[in-house]
Structure 1
Amino acid sequence: MIVGEHLRRQAEERPQKVAIICNEDRLTFSELNDQANRLACWLKERGLKKGDRAVVLLPNCAEFATVYFALMKMGVVAVILDFRLSPPEVSPLIDETEAKVLITHSKQKSFALRMRKEKEGLKEVIIIGEEKREEGLERYDEILSDGEAPEPGVSLREEDEALYLYTSGTTGRPKGVILTYDHLTYFPESMKAFLHVSEEDVEGCVLPMSHISGPIVLNLMVDVGLTVVVIDEIRPKKILEEVQKHRVTFFHAVPPIFQMILNLPSRDRYDLSSLRFVAMMGTVVPEELMEEWRKEYPHCLVLQGYGATETSPLLTLTRYEDAPRKMASAGRPVPGVEIKVVDGEGRELPPGEAGEVIARGPQIMKGYFKRPAEKARKIRDGWYWTGDLGRFDEDGYLYILGRADDMIITGGLNVYPSEVENVLLAHPKVAEAAVVGIPDPERGEALKAVVVPKVGEELSKRELLRFCRERLASFKIPKVVEFRDSLPRSRTGKVAKRELKAVEGELKKYWDFLAEHKKVIGPTVLLLLWFIVSGFGLVDPFFLPTPLKVGRHLLELLATPSTYAHLSKTFYRMMVGFSLAALIGVPLGVVLGYWEKVYDSVEFVIDFFRSFPATAMFPLFMLAFGIGDGSKIALVVFGCSLLILVNTTYGVHNCSRTRKMVAQTMKASEAYIMSRVVLPEALPQISAGLRLALSLSLIIVVVLEMFIGTRRGLGYLIYNAHMTYQIADMYAFIVMAGLIGYFINQGYVKLEKKVIHWAGI
């Protein structure tokens, strides 16, 4: 597929049709072809020729398409690198490929200048998004604004090298996959044959264009004449907004992205009726996830494909007509591909038996750049050994079970992690799950499950294991269950399972058990001790009445109208103080957490109060500073605002990594990043601070009412009962205060869920 010729043809046949959409940027086929020609001719004038190499280091943006097609027209090999790679990772790849051009974004300006000085072979550095001229850098906008836009006129053949795509390198040093122009033919052909893609479609580009997704999406675009919507943030709200706004008809992504969309409480606000199908690929796809998507969006077919960068990338795909009945499979071999499932000796296995998937066909890469030994290891007798485990069914559909090195052998029995993960994901409270093998002295390996509960759900190990025992054989039950807020991922969105294999210490297991059951264990132990101490007369009954006696007094007091007058006074003091504390603590915390320099100067203070949250209650020791509602409210404001400030600062600062990643991958103002990225991600931590402060405000007010002169409030009732030796009443009021605190906390949690849903986070 001579990609540049396809773009020229589309520019002639559909000059005014929009080809690329990215935020506010739009390029028609004619504009895209003109821009690609201008850049190609500029490179040609600078001495670049067919076979030279150019490093492309760009985020998802409209300019990526122009750069890609310019290089394809010139016959310059595009070395496309992940924009999120660090300078020490990129620099050796520039050396390895002997690149003569570096094309990057202004956010990599300092790195680009350093490379221009250090790399003698680097003849040109083109910078996108830079407004000022800088010696050693060529401004992209200036290049496109000059001269005419003739076709560069470079003669290309299908066997010429087109792309070097460096793999993610999760198993070692990244390897450059060599793809020729002929390799670029097969993805569009497969999509047209299996999924009836046409010029009427609008494709969403969700995954980073700096991997194989960028080239294959653009190749399909110029092959059939469809429109591509480039999505520059991997955030569920952003994806849904773009699908709704531009009437996207299909997109492909890795399973975690679909899980993020389904976990979004506000997903029902978006109109996704334009979607014909979505494709889940890139890793083992949980069947439960596909079922959940189909239930949520019944009009949209959900299907799978399978392949690798080394296979251009598709080996199998599910036909549009077969998607409903073969949803769990990775599809059938695409045209031109042969696939076998073989055992350890290379013998082909019959349908139903699992083994390693091997493939051959014109889609298989030319090789690894400067790595002939690696190519020889992966391609043997013309067959590409994928390293993936799979099986065929009787209808010739392939099912992927996972990586061969991920398979767990426990007590001599094989367990495929995907099978256990599917069961875990079937639990209604589980959002994400991953299963890995860990060393076990008895069985060689044991199963460890790392689970992310759904937002607002509480899930115990006992509940989860009981669910598994009803659905799995005993040797497939996880021995270790760990709960996390999220799963670690590689740059391509796949779960980084190596990071999940750390074994828990025995002490941590006990602490986890106590943490899981704290709501029951705490009150139960306290009540049990109370019964024992009072029942056996270890303390004078006058000073410690039995729980039953205190319960009777509590009911009597709740039936007394005057009790509620005192409670209303306590609530007034508490809520006024809490509201003022929130108005002070949240904005100040956002400022401290967002600006790095400010945070760095107060970080030791933040860490101190986070490590010892009880120190936020030190205003209680300042009881000598006056009486009356004003002093009480002031002390509530002081203590609670400190607690809210600490939690807000920490929550916002923890979003700095996400903020930087978004800033690197899109053009956005600070206000946009703050409102659309930072605050939504920090909201759970901010909310936790508000919840703690609400409970603290009750404690402060009640204690102050007990010790500072006043004749109204719950604390006064406790103090008065103590001073008049109505001990049972005193305990009843203390229990009342505890119950009020509990119900306030629970009510806040329910309100919190509604607010988060309303906010669309």
Structure 2
Amino acid sequence: MDRKWGSWFRETARSGRGVWYSEGGKLIRMDYSDMYAGALALSEILQEERDCTGTFLAVIWMEQSPGYLQALMAVLLAGGIAVPVHPRATKEEVRELCRFLEAELAIVPGERISAFNRSDTLDGNVSYPAAVMDGECGIVQRLHPNGLRSVHTRSYSPPPEASVIFMSSGSTGKPKGIMLSDCNMLSNVRSIQDYIRLTADDRVLLTKSFGYSSTITGEWLLALDRGADLFLFDGVLHPLELIRLVKAHGITFLCTVPSAVVPWMKSSLWKKEDLATLERMIIVGGAVPPDTLLELKQRIPWVDIMPSYGLTEASPRVSYLPAEELWLRPGSAGIPVPGVEITVRRPDGGEADPEEQGEIFVSGPNVMLGYYNMPERTRETLTPQGLRTRDLGCKDREGFLYVAGRGDTALNAGGHTVYPEQIEAVLATHPAVGSVGVTSYTAEEGERLVAFIEQAGGSAVEAGELCEELSAYVRSTMSPMYRPKEIRIVSGLPITNSGKLDRAALRIWAMECERIVSEGGIR
């Protein structure tokens, strides 16, 4: 199939604009034109190695750097399917992923090549991967005599339109390979650009993992499309470090997550002048409590703050709240991005009335091709009514979307259906709470709600005192059916490989509290 990546990358290969990154303590820029030239050279090596009649899958496991982006471009330019994974994934996780995807190639930095060898990647007569490329110099090491050429018959062949597979475990911990085409991703870039209106004068800060669709589509490809400078920093950064980077590099556009924004409002260690250059801020990956959003807007009134809603299956952006609507609807996920349609449906499939809660469905050119080798799950998700998100919500009478929570995370407490995301959003507003996860477990009296709390950085409140304080806080802010019966202070919450709260693990914590206490996991 003829893809758009070749012409798209060629047209965006500008000189004088590019990716800034730190190397040896110095800030260096790689022009987009140089990035394209390097990717083109790597793609030529891949095309020589591969079977010209077949598509190959390449798992990219590199440090967060321009080299990672070059490798991703090279795979797409060579006609392959790129699978970007989190730089902090373990070698066992990456090798298992190669087996699951029957990936012919792994692209890694030189020091990681030793993670692959014939003896521990062979599965019968087939090796996964069949070859390993050093993403820094382009040298290919074959683990199978045929390398990228046809070494086996696939148990599953992805659609010919597939370009990128993002691995997502969502909130349930079950991994899924979400297949996206060039049309899916580039249509979403156009939709996002329609309301962000990035220009070549913008400076974009990127700190989130390349393993996320939001990072690739909503930050890198968006900056590349407009020729905006991209400032790339690796690692998990403290929320206040984001503010320092905005100030140090004159950042104008930031796409961030609630876990970064909420702590800002609990700290007095920064001044509004630190964000003086910031013009637009998009918040993705979950809801921020409305009061926190309004407080943030009061603190930095010149910044267009736009909460957004999306999912990887939609490439990922589905809706956004226009900046001018924040004061009126701080709890809303906004309106559909251009070219996308959102419907809310009842269990019988009929469209819900305004203010009536139902399941959110999405239609548009951004909707995925399907899940890798999960035909039944794909059929359940890609319905005649559109992409079934399994998220619950409603629209108001003006068409603005409100997301209640995930249908598959709903809890039953005292005969009432409650959504942990709503309880977590309230608890997150407390100044001593850094992050929070709510779940339930079966007790003698029925399902019992429990909240696990990680304290905010700098909080000096004793665990017992904080539990009492939070118990009083939920009594004053929540109706009885939403109040957790137990509050436990933990040193950290379980996180999936995609960076989301691992709710399956959290429920196990709740059911095994005595064991966790004995092992020192709960304070």
- Length-normalised TM-score, structure 2: 0.83
Q: 1:76 to 1:35 in 2, by over 3 A?
A: same
Residue number in structure 1 paired with 2:152: none
Q: 1:220 to 1:487 in 2, by over 3 A?
A: same
Residue pairs, 1:472-621, within 5 angstroms: 472-501=478-507, 502-503=509-510
Residue number in structure 2 paired with 1:175: 176
Residue number in structure 2 paired with 1:150: none
* 2:404 aligned residue (401, 419, 422): 401
Question: Helix, strand or coil: the match of 2:188?
Answer: helix
Q: 1:227 to 1:293 in 2, by over 3 A?
A: same
Residue number in structure 2 paired with 1:211: 212
* 1:87 aligned residue (67, 91, 100): 91
2: CA distance, partners of 1:267 / 1:234: 19
Equivalent pair of 2:406/2:419 in contact (CA under 8 Å): no
Equivalent pair of 1:59/1:208 in contact (CA under 8 Å): no
Paired letter, 1:38: A
2: CA distance, partners of 1:55 / 1:174: 15
Which stretch shifts more, 353-362 or 462-471?
Answer: 462-471
Over residues 605-627 of structure 1, what are the superposed CA-to-partner deviations in whole Å (9 max), with x where a residue is unaligned?
Answer: xx9xxx9xxxxxxxxxxxxxxxx
Higher strand proportion (structure 1 or 2):
2
Residue number in structure 2 paired with 1:445: 447
Residue number in structure 1 paired with 2:48: 45
Residue number in structure 2 paired with 1:192: 193
1: CA distance, partners of 2:141 / 2:485: 61
Q: 1:120 to 1:450 in 2, by over 3 A?
A: closer
Question: Helix, strand or coil: the match of 1:182?
Answer: helix
Which stretch shifts more, 304-313 or 271-280?
Answer: 271-280
Over residues 515-561 of structure 1, what are the superposed CA-to-partner deviations in whole Å (9 max), with x where a residue is unaligned?
Answer: xxxxxxxxxxxxxxxxxxxxxxxxxxxxxxxxxxxxxxxxxxxxxxx
1: CA distance, partners of 2:491 / 2:93: 29
Quote the offset at 1:27 in angstroms: 0.9
Equivalent pair of 2:130/2:142 in contact (CA under 8 Å): no
Quote the offset at 1:311 in angstroms: 0.8
* 2:225 aligned residue (202, 220, 223): 223
Equivalent pair of 2:98/2:128 in contact (CA under 8 Å): no
Paired letter, 1:467: Y
Residue number in structure 2 paired with 1:414: 417
Over residues 133-152 of structure 1, what are the superposed CA-to-partner deviations in whole Å (9 max), with x where a residue is unaligned?
Answer: 99769xxxxxxxxxxxxxxx
Over residues 650-688 of structure 1, what are the superposed CA-to-partner deviations in whole Å (9 max), with x where a residue is unaligned?
Answer: xxxx9xxxxxxxxxxxxxxxxxxxxxxxxxxxxxxxxxx
Q: 1:425 to 1:84 in 2, by over 3 A?
A: closer
Equivalent pair of 2:99/2:129 in contact (CA under 8 Å): no
User: Residue 359 in 1 paired to residue 362 in 2?
Assistant: yes
Which stretch shifts more, 387-396 or 210-219?
Answer: 210-219
Quote the offset at 1:123 in angstroms: 5.0
Residue number in structure 2 paired with 1:700: none
Quote the offset at 1:342 in angstroms: 2.1
Q: 1:40 to 1:116 in 2, by over 3 A?
A: farther
Q: 1:292 to 1:281 in 2, by over 3 A?
A: same
* 1:348 aligned residue (348, 351, 369): 351
Quote the offset at 1:462 in angstroms: 3.6
Residue number in structure 2 paired with 1:163: 164
Quote the offset at 1:159 in angstroms: 7.4
Over residues 311-340 of structure 1, what are the superposed CA-to-partner deviations in whole Å (9 max), with x where a residue is unaligned?
Answer: 111111222443443332111111222222
Residue number in structure 2 paired with 1:61: 65
1: CA distance, partners of 2:423 / 2:128: 51
Over residues 209-228 of structure 1, what are the superposed CA-to-partner deviations in whole Å (9 max), with x where a residue is unaligned?
Answer: 12213431332123221122
1: CA distance, partners of 2:268 / 2:57: 46
Equivalent pair of 1:53/1:76 in contact (CA under 8 Å): yes
Equivalent pair of 1:256/1:494 in contact (CA under 8 Å): no
Question: Helix, strand or coil: the match of 1:271?
Answer: helix
1: CA distance, partners of 2:513 / 2:274: 49
Equivalent pair of 1:78/1:163 in contact (CA under 8 Å): yes
Residue number in structure 1 paired with 2:132: 125
- Length-normalised TM-score, structure 1: 0.59
Equivalent pair of 2:206/2:233 in contact (CA under 8 Å): yes
Residue number in structure 2 paired with 1:426: 429
- What is the Cα-based RMSD across aligned positions, in Å? 3.4
2: CA distance, partners of 1:110 / 1:270: 48
2: CA distance, partners of 1:242 / 1:460: 32
Quote the offset at 1:180 in angstroms: 1.1
Paired letter, 1:168: S
User: Residue 306 in 1 paired to residue 305 in 2?
Assistant: no
Question: Helix, strand or coil: the match of 2:437?
Answer: strand
1: CA distance, partners of 2:208 / 2:444: 41
Quote the offset at 1:63 in angstroms: 0.6
Paired letter, 2:199: S
- Higher relative contact order structure (alpha carbons within 8 Å, sequence separation ≥ 6): 2
User: Residue 18 in 1 paired to residue 17 in 2?
Assistant: yes
Quote the offset at 1:350 in angstroms: 1.5
Aligned-residue identity in percent: 25
Q: 1:100 to 1:181 in 2, by over 3 A?
A: same
Unaligned residue ranges in structure 1 (runs of 5+) = 138-157, 512-606, 612-653, 655-761
Equivalent pair of 2:262/2:429 in contact (CA under 8 Å): no
Q: How many residues align?
A: 489
Paired letter, 1:160: E
Quote the offset at 1:292 in angstroms: 4.3
Over residues 91-139 of structure 1, what are the superposed CA-to-partner deviations in whole Å (9 max), with x where a residue is unaligned?
Answer: 24323434332211234232134589746474542224589x99769xx
Question: Helix, strand or coil: the match of 1:102?
Answer: strand
Which stretch shifts more, 430-439 or 476-485?
Answer: 430-439
Q: 1:229 to 1:448 in 2, by over 3 A?
A: same
User: Residue 383 in 1 paired to residue 386 in 2?
Assistant: yes
Quote the offset at 1:20 in angstroms: 1.0
Equivalent pair of 1:58/1:210 in contact (CA under 8 Å): no
Equivalent pair of 2:440/2:447 in contact (CA under 8 Å): yes
Question: Helix, strand or coil: the match of 1:303?
Answer: strand
Residue number in structure 2 paired with 1:8: 10
1: CA distance, partners of 2:511 / 2:369: 44
Unaligned residue ranges in structure 2 (runs of 5+) = 144-158
Question: Helix, strand or coil: the match of 2:361?
Answer: strand
2: CA distance, partners of 1:297 / 1:117: 52
Question: Helix, strand or coil: the match of 1:470?
Answer: helix
Equivalent pair of 2:297/2:305 in contact (CA under 8 Å): yes
Paired letter, 2:377: E
2: CA distance, partners of 1:453 / 1:334: 36
2: CA distance, partners of 1:110 / 1:389: 45
Residue number in structure 2 paired with 1:469: 475
Equivalent pair of 2:314/2:367 in contact (CA under 8 Å): yes
Equivalent pair of 1:206/1:251 in contact (CA under 8 Å): no
Higher helix proportion (structure 1 or 2):
1
1: CA distance, partners of 2:513 / 2:55: 59
Quote the offset at 1:271 in angstroms: 2.3
User: Residue 392 in 1 paired to residue 395 in 2?
Assistant: yes
Paired letter, 1:103: I
Quote the offset at 1:232 in angstroms: 0.4
Equivalent pair of 1:8/1:33 in contact (CA under 8 Å): yes
Quote the offset at 1:467 in angstroms: 2.7
Q: 1:4 to 1:266 in 2, by over 3 A?
A: farther
Paired letter, 1:325: L
Q: 1:391 to 1:231 in 2, by over 3 A?
A: same
Equivalent pair of 1:283/1:402 in contact (CA under 8 Å): no
Q: 1:290 to 1:445 in 2, by over 3 A?
A: same
Residue number in structure 2 paired with 1:318: 321
Quote the offset at 1:365 in angstroms: 0.7
